[in-house]
């Protein structure tokens, strides 16, 4: 998947644990873990807003697009 979730990077920069962030954002630890590992299929804007507010960052600090030419279209 070309969308990379850098939530762990931002948490490390802010020296915040997953459980602490989950509590401050009011999400379950399981749901936040799914997002952190990149297994989430979607994220609500309200959730993204809450995470950005707590971590004092921008959505682009958490979500990154790493696209490229698919292997079968390159040559």
pLDDT digits (tens, 9 = 90+) for 31-68: 999 999 999 999 999 999 999 999 999 999 999 998 87
CATH at residue 39: 1.10.260.40
Print the domain residue range for 32: 3-65
Overall domain count for the chain? 1
Q: Give the residue from 42, 36, 45 showing the smallest Cα distance to 5.
A: 36
Could you tell me if residue 73 is inside a domain? no
* Stated pTM of the model: 0.84
Structure tokens at 72: 């079968």
**pLDDT tens-digit map of 16-40:** 999 999 999 999 999 999 999 999 9
Residues 6+ apart with CB under 8 A from 64: 3, 4, 5, 6
């Amino acid at each position: 998947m070309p969308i990379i979730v850098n939530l762990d990077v931002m948490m490390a920069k802010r020296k915040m644990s997953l459980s602490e962030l989950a509590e401050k954002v009011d999400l379950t630890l399981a749901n936040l873990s799914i997002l952190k590992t990149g297994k989430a299929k979607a994220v609500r804007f309200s959730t993204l807003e809450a995470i950005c507010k707590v971590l004092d960052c921008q959505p682009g600090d958490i979500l990154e697009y790493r696209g490229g030419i698919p292997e079968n279209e390159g040559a």
